[in-house]
Amino acid sequence: MGRTLERTARTISTETRRIAADHARARLRRRRRAELGRHLVLALVTFILVAPFYYVFLASLKNSTEIFSYPPKLLPIPPYFGNYRALLWDTGFLRWMFNTLFVAGSVTTLKVFLDSMAGYALAKIDMTGKRAIFLLMLILLMVPIGALIVPLWSLVSALGLTNTYLALILPPLANPLGAILMRQFILGLPRDLDNAARLDGLSEFAIYWRIVLPLIKPGLVVLAVIIFTDQFMSFIWPLIATSSDDLQVLTVGVAALRAHGGANYGLWSASAVMSLVPIGVFFFVLQRQFLARSLAGALKQ
Amino acid sequence: MNEAAGMNLSAGQPGRMRLSRAEHRRLHRKARIRRELTGWMFLGPMFACFVVFLVIPVAGTVWWSTRSGSIFGGTKFVGLRNFIELPGTVGAWPAIENTLVFALLSVPLILIGALGIALVLARVEHGASVYRFLVYFPVLVPGVVAALIWLFLTNIDFGLFNDVIRFFGGMPVTWLGADSALTVLAILDVWRNVGYWAMFFVAAIIGLPQELYQAAELDGASVLARFRYLTLPLLRRIVFFAVIVSTIWGLQVFDTALVLTNGGPGTATTTVIYRVWLYVFGSNNKVGFASAISLVLIVAILALTLVQMWLLRDRRGRD
Amino acid sequence: MTAASGNPAYAIELVDVTKHYGKTPVLSGVNLAIEPGEFIALLGPSGCGKSTLLKLIAGLEELTDGEIYVGGRLANYLRPSARDVAMVFQNYALYPHMTVRENLGFPLKMSGVSRDEVRGKVEAAATLLQLNAQLESYPDELSGGQRQRVALGRAIVREPLAFLMDEPLSNLDALLRVEMRTELVRLHKRVGRTTIYVTHDQVEAMTMANRIVLMHRGVIQQVGSPGEVYSTPANTFVATFVGSPPMNLFKGRIESSAGGRMFRGPFDLPVEGLAPPAFADGPVALGIRPEHIHVLDPGDATGLAAVVDLVERVGPDSYLWALANDATSLTARVDAASAIREGDRICIRFPLQHLRLFDAAGTRVAKEA
């Protein structure tokens, strides 16, 4: 009787163990299957999102007859470089690229500096009207430059800046996003760090320069990436602020290729590919900071 | 004065105030002015740019909206006439309608798509960074270039879309026709922006408290139930923020419409900012209308901004 | 500028110091004189204004009214670094991007001390605080206690007139806190500088300070040695804030009759001699510390009958939470060896010399006017 019981107990316990093991295996299988499902979904999504790039890249390496032929060649063999040659030697593309990089670089440098200073004042200096200024910045944060082209254009031409680099560089400095972000970053620093520095005899500028800036370096890089990409992509203001070919930026020049000189699909595809090279390289190098662009939105809340 | 101090010398007793009120007030003011000046040295340069190139233009839009004439000179005051006549002015109403339809089409698709991608991407165990890179890449494409790329997708003869349709034996479609151009423009926007919001949602989802999900799983909640009763409510503010901001962005569409369709066919894809541009530089007497319609856009954006600030005010108030 | 000088005998002197945030008063009319070498604890519940007071002395905030003298000089309008005080912050506020050596030397470097001298002083401070092995580390590589010591070291190297410490031990775990407490006291004995130490922990205040400044709602409640504050609290707030468990307080009235003065409340008690003869009859509170209540056998009819409702054993002692007259709760301390248990009836007595009398406003009534 006792032995039977013992045996039953043992059977039950091996049985439970077996069931538990089964469960674990089943769970693992389920997990693997779910992971596989996720990869399938993501592969499909990314394929859809990326396919257009490949299609245009393909077109850029085809001559005009190949572009129009059906079924399309899926590999660019042999590659045709005539489109790129035409783009680089017969259009102002290199000049546009230089203008874009120069303007975006200037705006980024200036703005990172000005915005971090403004953010410091908004976060750390007790001054009258600070709250009201901050509120005004939040309210006007979303007003786009496209809705302001009439007063902006007349202002810039009244200042005699039309067709100068300054016309492209100054108006983007107004955007308050950077100052708001920098304020947030600086408020996120350990409390009392600035007070410790004040007791150590640092001036406000020294606190900003020697303590705050080194500590918000990651934030500065994120801000620089945000400003640079926004500038790289900006279109309407450069479009109306400049009429001289020498000052055209990439987006304006590429749009002009489309607007003038007939349907030159080969040239268009080459310009699309070449336009994406600098930002693509930056993105590859600074992936994390780029993705933080999205997070900047979350941070704003 | 020293007498007073002397009297209080006994056992740790402080004296009385030794400077006059007036003297204190003077020194106080001096210290304060020094502080304010320091503050303005930091804030000043950026604030000057902010005022000159943002605050003044916003106010200037109001002034311009009461003028009639050309931006190149010779305007006169017409009061509110621009606003009264705006609905009847050529192209004004279609522009507003196109913009609203564009936003109503693109915003839900972007956000639903982004949320879907994010839910999958946030839980993927291997290779997430590769997907992130690829999903985000279209975000970095300037509108002009994106439109150029989409010319290659939507071309009737050799576009990718029609190639695919032909491959399955269908008839080629006129993608940029009067009926469909605006929809294509909206889909282009989805392609360009879905990655941005997907990353935004991924960050939010990863930040959700994991214990809640474990508890829900123990309670036997299915994947769908967990999404419905946990993820969505927890992401409420985030989703709300995304709705407002992506709507505001949607209202600004211009460069893709210019390059992909030239605002057409007819006025099928002429958006508000496109119309402003046409009024200013494509006509010699409509700068007032341009400003009036700009002002409508600015007010709409400010209203959305304020709604968002008001609804998300709790967190904001705490700095 | 008008030169205003305070009493040079004091290290720090506060005169009618008042601070408002907008319309909210944080400190009202704080007067205090601190002598060189004193270790002062600013003690009070959170929000009592003690940290604000420290920041005002350091110059990190501006006062609304009043005067602050540091070393006999009017400091109101001096920059923080010109006040000759050093501060230790609650979260240490070490520069994360500098090594320990750089952190320690930074204040000296900023005041233009020569490189060699900085080196010597940093090394001396490091030796004093046993930080030599960590000099080249960054703050995030240090333990909590080490960070704490670096923060102290940064204050010490400046050799200031006074140290201001804002709850410096509150981020440490309990064991380390006790250790650092004794270390700080030892350090104070060795360095011998005036120290103002803000804390909400009465044990820290009692064990470290030679004088305690008790604050509540922006007003100083009492200034005195730990012993004074404990045994003769200035008012009912101090009586209940200091001591754990707090002093027992019984509300009632003083009534005079032919037989002498009586306390009439939850129980009646003759209190002849507890108040000066001029003290008028009226509402009062009677206070007594738990350890001063005599607990007698239940048979003893000379005292007050009570029922024990909870016995709390804390090592050498036990606290009895009891109900007297079925309505008034009180706490009494007995030896841990005591056999009294929950539900037991006991009898208690209040020795007159340990009773403290507080008037209707809560202020303690001195025995002799």
User: What are the pLDDT digits (tens) for A203-212?
Assistant: 999 999 999 9
pLDDT at B319: 35
Q: Is the pLDDT of residue A76 over 80?
A: no
B153 → closest Cβ in A52, A291, A301 = A52
How many angstroms separate the CA atoms of B184 and B260, rounded? 10
Q: Is the pLDDT of residue A301 over 50?
A: no
Q: Is the pLDDT of residue A12 over 80?
A: no
User: What are the pLDDT digits (tens) for C60-96?
Assistant: 999 999 999 998 889 989 999 899 999 999 988 999 9
pLDDT at B71: 82
Residues of C with CB under 8 A from a CB of A: 55, 58-60, 79-81, 85-87, 89-91, 93-97, 106-107, 110-111, 154
In chain C, where does DSSP find H-type helix? 50-58, 100-110, 115-128, 144-156, 174-191, 202-208, 226-231, 236-241
Segments in chain C below pLDDT 70 = 1-3, 298-301, 368-369
Interface residue of A97, A138, A145, A149 to substitute, partner B, most B CBs within 10 Å = A149
CB contact under 8 A, A149 and B294: yes
CB contact under 8 A, A151 and B56: yes
For residue B65, give the nearest of A148, A141, A139, A137 by alpha carbon: A148
ipTM over cut 0.90: no
pLDDT at B2: 37
CB contact under 8 A, B54 and A176: yes
* Shortest Cα distance, chain A CAs vs residue C143, angstroms: 17
Confidence of residue B314 (pLDDT cuts 50, 70, 90): low
Q: State whether residue B29 sits within 8 Å of chain C by CB.
A: no
* Shortest Cα distance, chain C CAs vs residue B3, angstroms: 11
Q: State whether residue B46 sits within 8 Å of chain A by CB.
A: yes
* Shortest Cα distance, chain C CAs vs residue B22, angstroms: 12
| Cα B277 to chain centroid, rounded | 20
CB contact under 8 A, A211 and C58: no
* Shortest Cα distance, chain A CAs vs residue B22, angstroms: 22
Q: State whether residue B17 sits within 8 Å of chain C by CB.
A: yes
Interface residue of B99, B120, B148 to substitute, partner A, most A CBs within 10 Å = B148
Once rounded to an integer, what is the mean pLDDT over residues A66-86? 78
Confidence of residue A65 (pLDDT cuts 50, 70, 90): confident
Residues of C with CB under 8 A from a CB of B: 1-2, 4-7, 9-10, 13-16, 31-35, 62, 65-67, 74, 76-77, 211, 223
Once rounded to an integer, what is the mean pLDDT over residues A24-32? 84
pLDDT at A299: 45
For residue B205, give the nearest of B121, B302, B300 by alpha carbon: B121
Q: Is the pLDDT of residue B12 over 70?
A: no
How many angstroms separate the CA atoms of B94 and B105, rounded? 16
C33 → closest Cβ in B14, B19, B27 = B14
pTM of the model: 0.86
* Chain B adjacent subunits, 3+ CB pairs under 8 A: A, C
Do the Cβ atoms of A279 and A229 come closer than 8 Å?
yes
CB contact under 8 A, B273 and A146: yes
A190 → closest Cβ in C85, C91, C106 = C91
C6 to chain B: which residues are within 8 Å by CB?
A: 5, 15, 18
pLDDT at B318: 39
pLDDT at C2: 46
CB contact under 8 A, B5 and C6: yes
CB contact under 8 A, A199 and C81: yes
Distances (CA, A) of B22 to B18, B28, C63: 12, 10, 15
Q: Is the pLDDT of residue B9 over 60?
A: no
User: What are the pLDDT digits (tens) for A275-299?
Assistant: 998 888 888 888 777 776 655 554 4
* Chain C adjacent subunits, 3+ CB pairs under 8 A: A, B
C15 to chain B: which residues are within 8 Å by CB?
A: 14-18
Give me the percent of chain A exceeding a pLDDT of 90: 48
CB contact under 8 A, C93 and A201: no
- Minimum CA–CA partner of A184 in chain B: B319
Do the Cβ atoms of B230 and B149 come closer than 8 Å?
no
Confidence of residue B317 (pLDDT cuts 50, 70, 90): very low
Q: Reading across the β-sheet that carries C24-34, which strands appear in turn? A: C24-34, C12-21, C65-70, C73-74
Place of tokens 């064990």: C207
C31 → closest Cβ in B14, B23, B32 = B14
How many angstroms separate the CA atoms of C237 and C44, rounded? 10
User: What are the pLDDT digits (tens) for A227-266?
Assistant: 999 999 999 999 999 888 889 999 999 898 888 867 788 8
Q: Is the dihedral of CA B34, B35, B38, B43 positive or negative?
A: negative
C85 to chain A: which residues are within 8 Å by CB?
A: 199
User: What are the pLDDT digits (tens) for B115-174?
Assistant: 999 989 888 888 888 888 889 889 999 999 999 999 888 888 778 888 888 888 888 888
CB contact under 8 A, B302 and A139: yes
How many angstroms separate the CA atoms of C140 and B229, rounded? 40
Q: State whether residue B240 sits within 8 Å of chain A by CB.
A: no
Q: How many CB atoms lie within 10 A of CB A60?
A: 26
Do the Cβ atoms of C320 and C334 come closer than 8 Å?
yes
